[in-house]
Each structure stands twice: as structure tokens, then as C-alpha cells.
Amino acid sequence: MTPVFNHFATCLMVAPLALLPMSLCAQEVLSDTQSIDQAGTFPEYNAKLLLTNAVSAVDGASGGGISNWATIAGRQETRGVGVQAHVTAVLLPDFFYQSHGVALGIADRIELSYARQNFDTQDVGAALGIGQGYMLNQDVFGAKVRLFGDVVYGNTMVPQVAVGAQYKRSLDGAVASAVGAAHDEGVDVTLSATKLLLSHSVLVNTTARLTKANQNGLLGFGSVSDDSYAIQFEGAVAYQFSRRFVLGTEFRTKPDNLGLGEGDWFDVFAAYAPSDNLTVTAAYADLGSIATFTGQRGAFLQAQVAF
């Protein structure tokens, strides 16, 4: 109804000025309604190429499993608003990590994301004296803006570049301060560049991240002795076997503000899109030492739906 109304309103305003016969306006109203009916049958479709919305990183942004990319979430392009939602589980020897979240991709330009991270300390909780199966929780609110470039198109040498910010709020400030963290909330700033090198079927991503986060923020931010931002790097390389299947590897450096031996992250992942709207990711992830418990290697599993 709205376009008809608009058109009719325009006619009402323009007709007396242009001395148009009102009947002509009425005729156009009719033809507009007809074209709207046709537009109604225009099929909704997935505007983005498969997998180019990437998967959901642990902090909720579109990217790899552990690294942030310059990609924009959701399956819509310049004229649409896309959305994706994910559930992730990481099974580690001494911990169980679970996260879920949603991300909006607006006009292939802006991404807004939210993720909730739940980190089950299992037996470690008892050993550290915070309680058997104590859960560390965190909310992550993210925003990302694509500055220029395109993952697939345009100059081969110009990647898609995006700048992002993530506000992280630990819900366990008491634990964070007990281990020596300076804050229970913090902001990460990221700058990412991503390109699919079609001639080699290889996707490359590099990200620089300014952060104070300890274990991604689950153990707070900064420390009493070292409360400064550090620049960290995230890299990913992936080979595209088909439109639906990608194999890749990721690397992410992390600061060790608390002196607990926090190490870098590494994974090897496979992402598969069984349908246009579903992506499943499985990875072998090496998350190093967490809260002095070393050798945290295990399976990373994610299901993501996107529209």
C-alpha cells in the first residue's frame, strides 16, 4: 500500500502544478499496483557468495574460529541487512567452552555482533578454590566497519579492509581481580585485511588487535603491574576446495599480562556449507596454557545459520 500511497500523494502535489489530468495520475496508480504485484513474486535470495560471510569467531564477529576477519556477517549485500547466529563448543582436557551469539550485517558495510561466552572450569575450579565447575561468563558487543576493498572482487592486490571495536564485559569481576586483573571490562580494537586469491583458491587474512584482555577477557583485562594495551596479530590461510568446502589454519597471539603463562592460539579448521544458510565448522584447536593448566588442545565445533 505504501508505494501506491506515495505515488498518489505525489500526484496530488504535482498534478495541479503540471496541469496533468488527474485521471492520468489514477492510471499510473493502477500500473504501479500491477508492478508491485510482480515485485512481490521476486524471489528472496542469498545475495552473498557461499562462505563469504565467513564463520563466527569466538568473540562473535565474522571471521575464522579464533580470528577476526574483515568480512561482514550475514548473507546480504549492499542493499540488504543480513543476520547470522552461531553456537560454538570447544572441548578441552580441563575445560569446556561454549559460546553463542548473533551478528547483523548492514549493507555489506557495518557489522554489529553480540556473543555470550561461558567457560566451564570443571575440576580446575575446585583446584583454584573458586568452586567445582565454576563458570566464567562474558558478554562481547562488537562493531565492525568495512573501510574499502572487496574479499572477492576488484583489484587483486587490494584486500577488504575493516576496522572493528569489541566491548567485553566479564561477569566474574571478583575472579578477575583475584587473579590480579586490573579491570573486569575492556575494549579491543581490530584492523583486518582479507582477500580471496582466486588464482590460487586461497583466502588470506591478517588482523592487528589492540587489547588488554586476559584469556580473551574471561580473566579480566590488564593486570595491576601491566595495565597497557598490547598489539597482537591474528592470521588465517584457507584453501577453497569447492564453493561449499574450505580447509584452513589460524594463528592468534595473546598477551600474558597476568604472568600465568598465557600462550598463543592455533587451529586447523574445516568449514562446510551443506545448504546456502548453514555452515558447520570443525577444528583442532591448540589454546595453549589456560590458568596455568597447560596443553589445552581439543575439538572446536560450530554450527552457524545465516540469512
Binding site for other proteins (CB under 8 A): 4-5, 8, 22-23, 25-27, 29-30, 42-43, 45, 47-49, 76-80, 108, 150, 152-156, 197-201, 240-243
Nearer to other proteins, 3 or 261 (CB): 3
Nearer to other proteins, 79 or 129 (CB): 79
Nearer to other proteins, 233 or 241 (CB): 241
Nearer to other proteins, 132 or 243 (CB): 243
CB 8 within 8 A of CB 29: yes
CB 219 within 8 A of CB 259: no
How far apart CA 228 and CA 146 sit, in angstroms, is 27
How far apart CA 256 and CA 290 sit, in angstroms, is 11
3-state SS assignment for residue 85: strand
Least distance from C-beta 199 to other proteins, angstroms?
4
Name the H helices within 84-243: 122-127, 173-178
Quickly tell me which residue has 562488537 as its cell.
Answer: 142
Other beta carbons less than 10 A from residue 68's beta carbon: 32
Least distance from C-beta 54 to other proteins, angstroms?
15
How far apart CA 307 and CA 294 sit, in angstroms, is 39
Least distance from C-beta 192 to other proteins, angstroms?
20
Residue type, 163: V
Least distance from C-beta 161 to other proteins, angstroms?
16
Least distance from C-beta 272 to other proteins, angstroms?
14
Give the residue among 98, 167, 177 at the shortest CA–CA distance from 135: 98
DSSP-assigned letters across all residues of 219-267: T-BS-SS--S-EEEEEEEEEEESSSSEEEEEEEE----TTSS----EEE
Least distance from C-beta 70 to other proteins, angstroms?
16
CB 255 within 8 A of CB 289: no
Nearer to other proteins, 76 or 207 (CB): 76
Nearer to other proteins, 108 or 234 (CB): 108
Give the residue among 136, 140, 74, 148 at the shortest CA–CA distance from 104: 74
Least distance from C-beta 72 to other proteins, angstroms?
12
Nearer to other proteins, 200 or 225 (CB): 200
Nearer to other proteins, 244 or 297 (CB): 244
Cell of 33: 499496483
Least distance from C-beta 68 to other proteins, angstroms?
22
